[in-house]
Amino acid sequence: MIQVGPETVVAVSYTLHVDDGETGMQFREAISEAEPFYFLFGVGQVLPKLEAALAGLVAGDPFEVFLSYEEAYGDYDPAKRVILPKHAFKEDGVKQRQLLRVGKVIPMQDEEGNRLRGEILKVDYKGVHMDFNSPLAGLDLQFSGRVVAVRKAEAEEIAHGHVHGPGGVQH
């Protein structure tokens, strides 16, 4: 059997519980064995402590991992709340009204090309108020799951830094 490690594609199912420090552990998300989460090991697609806990496991192995907020997405950072001008949401000079909805999460990029996830908090005369914190910032995480499958990564997947095919990017 192939072990989880460098140059492998890993599929996991899991249940994620979060702890907000006030109300205790609460259910957040479940990924089933029928539709597992696929990732390329060792390229930063999952949290480092979670990835370390999976190293050496084989298909069928269970796992349990607790991550403090420091080991997960860090503390909530008020500096990641910004106001962007409304004109930044125009395409070919036309306002994209369907984008400017409170609660909408928009994939964006910073000046260096890093991908960001921004949630619209408010739209007013000042602009579009957005929060670029992870929705899991400031929360402790408890993962319970199972390794569904492990296979050697294809050379193209390694070169591209992500999984291709089922569960991955289709090129």
Cβ(163)–Cβ(157) under 8 Å?
yes
Same domain, 143 and 64: yes
Which tens digits make up the pLDDT trace of 32-75? Answer: 999 999 999 999 889 999 999 999 999 999 999 999 999 999 99
Nearest-angstrom CA–CA distance, 148 and 167: 12
Which tens digits make up the pLDDT trace of 7-17? Answer: 999 999 999 99
Same domain, 127 and 47: no
Same domain, 97 and 115: yes
Residue range of the domain that includes 98: 78-131
> Residues in the chain, how many?
171
What global pTM score does this model have?
A: 0.78
Which tens digits make up the pLDDT trace of 149-170? Answer: 999 999 999 888 888 876 566 5
Residue 164 belongs to some domain of the structure? no
Same domain, 106 and 143: no
- Looking at the 3D structure of the chain, how many domains does it have? 2
Q: Exposed e or buried b for every residue in 33-55, given b needs 16+ CB within 10 A? A: eeebbbbbbbbeebbebbbebbe
Same domain, 98 and 17: no
